[in-house]
Amino acid sequence: MAANAFTGLLNSSADRHSLFDDAQGIVAGSMLAVLGVSLLSGAGLLAGGTAGLAFLAHYATGFSFGLCFFAVNLPFYYLAFRRMGPAFTIKTFAAIALTSVLSEFVPGFIGIGHVNPIAGALFGGLVIGAGLALFRHRASLGGIGILALYIQDRLGWRAGLVQLGFDCVILALSFLVASPSIIACSVLGAVVFNLTLAINHRKDRYIAV
C-alpha cells in the first residue's frame, strides 16, 4: 500500500503533473528566480512585477529584498484563491515563501560582486524568465504574475506581454530611486524576461496541469 502511494506521487502523464513534478518545479523555479534577482541586484538594477515593487521597497526602506517580496505579494492571494483556485494559491504561496527565504540566505553562499548593468539585465532577465517555468505547474511568483495568468486564461492574451505592460508602469516609478541609465538597463532586463516568458511558456504549447 505504501509503495503504491509513493509510486502515485511520482507518476505523471502527458496532461497531468504528479506531486513530485510540481514540487521539483517550484523548487527549481524559485532557485532560478533567486539567482536572476542576485544578478540584477549585483548590477544595481530593478525589475518588473512584484519583484520590482519589492526592489523599490528594498531600496527605499533598507529592509531586505526577501521580506519586501513576501510582503508585497500578500494582497494578491485573495485574487489567486477566488480566480485561480486553492491548488494554484497553495503552490504560488509555496513558491513565493521559498523565493523569499532563499533570497535571505543565498547571498551568503554565492557572492556576486560587480556585474555590468547590461550583462546583468540580459542574464538576469533570462534566468528569471526560465524560472517562471513555474507557470507550467500552475503556480507563479507573485501578484502581477497571478493577474497576467488570469488575463491569459480569460482573454487569451499572452501572460508575458500582459506582464510587460505592468512592468513598464512599475519601472516608470523607478525614477524615484534610480538613475536614468540604471532604469534603461532595468527596462532591457524586463524586456528579456517577458520575451522569454511569452515565447517559452505559451499555454497552447504546453497542456499539462
What's the chain look like in SS3? CHHHHHHHHHCCECCECCHHHHHHHHHHHHHHHHHHHHHHHHCCCCCCHHHHHHHHHHHHHCCCHHHHHHHHHHHHHHHHHHHHCHHHHHHHHHHHHHHHHHHHHHHHHCCCCCCCHHHHHHHHHHHHHHHHHHHHHCCCCCHHHHHHHHHHHHHCCCHHHHHHHHHHHHHHHHHHCCCHHHHHHHHHHHHHHHHHHHHHCCHHHCCCC
In a domain, 88, yes or no: yes
Q: What is the mean pLDDT of the chain?
A: 81
How high is the pLDDT of residue 97?
92
In a domain, 114, yes or no: yes
In a domain, 11, yes or no: no
How high is the pLDDT of residue 144?
77
Over residues 38-90, the pLDDT tens digits come to 999 889 888 777 888 888 888 888 888 889 999 988 888 877 887 778 888 88
In a domain, 147, yes or no: yes
| Number of structural domains the chain divides into | 1
Question: Residue 206: which pLDDT band, with cuts at 50, 70 and 90?
Answer: low
In a domain, 14, yes or no: no
How high is the pLDDT of residue 124?
93
Task: For residue 79, give its domain range.
Answer: 19-205
Q: Looking at residues 140-155, what average pLDDT do you find?
A: 76
In a domain, 67, yes or no: yes
Question: Residue 185: which pLDDT band, with cuts at 50, 70 and 90?
Answer: very high
In a domain, 134, yes or no: yes
In a domain, 3, yes or no: no
